[in-house]
A and B are shown apart, each in its own frame.
Chain A
Amino acid sequence: MNNRNLKESRLSNWVSLAFRLGIAASLALIIIGIIILLLTSGAEDIQPLARLDQMPAATVISVGILLLLLTPIIQVIINIALFSISRDRLFIGISVAVLCFAALSLAIALI
């Protein structure tokens, strides 16, 4: 029972850390991108299609969004690593399946 609780605790800690770091990093990039956009263009006349002078801002924001969408996928990889350490074959398999489906959606997006 204590061993199981320790494993669950470790899993929770690492997963929580992955989410918090991922969201912090992605939001930081998005905020930096917004600041660049406001400094270069101001808050007026912003179109969804980025102009040339707005490319740096759009690039930074895009990287932030990509990191945001990758954060849940990264936590699945962490889960696989932790289940491998604890030799939980059932949940290694389940986590790998989740990762495969997530990777499929990422592959489709990048086509």
Chain B
Amino acid sequence: MLLCRTTPLDELNLWALGGTGLVAGILGSALGVGGGFLIVPILTLALGLPIKVAIASSLVAIVANSCTAAGMYTKARITNIKLGLLLETVTIPGAIIGGFIAAIIAPSILSAIFGLALIYAAYTMITPKYLTSEDNLSTDNSIAPNSTTDNLSGSLANSYYDQNLDKVVTYKVNRIPAGLGTGFFSGVLSSLLGIGGGVVNVPVMHLIMGVPMKAAIATSTFIITITAAAGALIYHYYGHIYPFIIAPLAIGIVIGARIGVELTQRARGALLRRIFGVFLLIIAILMFLKTANII
């Protein structure tokens, strides 16, 4: 089913594909931005792959990366599994719909939409008052997990041990309908652009739903695993999945993610994020130029 397809693609460079995954994995895990924002532009701009093939490949690589990270986060009990499952009820349908939309719209429009998403991602990297890695909880959000305020909200309340703060952080989850609404949108974006959707999930969970930053990142990673998988399956239906493209990409991104975690410990996160943000802006410009057939 995945093997024999006629294609206009040229010869593949396995090392370039592996290197792409490696860089995406390192920067993705070091900076908390999914690898899709790097993988898709590199595959299209540098390696010349059609954008729909690049998006499909990116989604599978993201599944590999997020499953690796999700395994670690759930083991550390940071992930809010119940919240993740609840949001998946909307992100997966969003991803399915996003996949179908991507199949019918022109590649140039996809490139342009991707460029806009890159600008937003760059903004989140560069803006100094954007989400920090420290959890600054308001006191009224710290509530025991066995709250009786609301059945669902009470079920979603959770706690985890924060090593940096050296204490147990407890929180409740608010504004669930808003989270569900934006969750659907993040699913559509994920499948449409070949990104994880964390760029939407994390701010929504943290800023709107009141989930501490680390738990939001961990839960977003959990959500991305199945959301990206659903999107990738839709791309497979349209014949955009190529094993020889995906294999080195997936291996590279998993190795890169491990390295990225080490870098996070040692590098100055804020400076890295700003440099990466500028880099994303440059890539956005290149994507628009490609859309306009200037390059």
Contacts of A37 in B (CB 8 A): 244, 247
A98 and B14 within 8 A (CB): no
A94 and B85 within 8 A (CB): yes
Given A1-B145, A23-B254, A34-B14, A16:B243 Cβ within 8 A: no
Closest Cβ–Cβ distance, residue A17 to chain B (whole Å): 8
B145 and A108 within 8 A (CB): no
B12 and A15 within 8 A (CB): no
Contacts of B155 in A (CB 8 A): 88, 90-91
B247 and A33 within 8 A (CB): yes
Contacts of A62 in B (CB 8 A): 1-3, 243
A16 and B234 within 8 A (CB): no
Residue of A nearest to B72 (CB): A16
Residue of B nearest to A13 (CB): B75
Counting CB contacts under 8 A, is A43 at the interface? Answer: yes
Contacts of A102 in B (CB 8 A): 92, 226, 229-230
A16 and B74 within 8 A (CB): yes
Contacts of A43 in B (CB 8 A): 14-15
Contacts of B4 in A (CB 8 A): 49-50
Chain A interface residue bracket vs B: 35 or more
A101 and B244 within 8 A (CB): no
A58 and B243 within 8 A (CB): yes
B85 and A79 within 8 A (CB): yes
Interfacial residues of chain A within 21-64, with CB under 8 A of chain B in the complex: 22-23, 26-27, 30-31, 33-34, 37-38, 43, 45-50, 54-55, 58-59, 61-62, 64
B75 and A12 within 8 A (CB): yes
The stretch from B35-43, B59-67, B120-128 touching chain A is: B59-67
Counting CB contacts under 8 A, is A81 at the interface? Answer: no
Given A8-B77, A12-B74, A65:B243 Cβ within 8 A: yes
B71 and A20 within 8 A (CB): yes
B233 and A30 within 8 A (CB): no
Given A72-B63, A98-B85, A102-B229, A109:B251 Cβ within 8 A: no
Contacts of B2 in A (CB 8 A): 58, 62, 65-66
| Distance of A15 Cα from B221 Cα, bound (Å) | 13
A72 and B67 within 8 A (CB): yes
Residue of B nearest to A23 (CB): B67
Counting CB contacts under 8 A, is B246 at the interface? Answer: yes
Give which listed residue, A11, A49, A54, A101, contacts B96 with CB less than 8 A: A101
Give which listed residue, A54, A71, A98, contacts B92 with CB less than 8 A: A98
Contacts of B5 in A (CB 8 A): 48-49
| Distance of A109 Cα from B233 Cα, bound (Å) | 5
Give which listed residue, B68, B77, B146, B244, contacts A50 with CB less than 8 A: B244
Interfacial residues of chain B within 227-277, with CB under 8 A of chain A in the complex: 229-234, 236-237, 241-248, 250-251, 254
Closest Cβ–Cβ distance, residue A71 to chain B (whole Å): 5
Interface string of B202-238 (1 = CB under 8 A from A): 0000000000000000000000011001111110110
B233 and A47 within 8 A (CB): no
B77 and A9 within 8 A (CB): yes
Counting CB contacts under 8 A, is B93 at the interface? Answer: yes
Residue pairs across A and B with Cβ atoms less than 8 A apart, 5 shown, are A34-B247, A50-B4, A76-B226, A108-B233, A111-B237
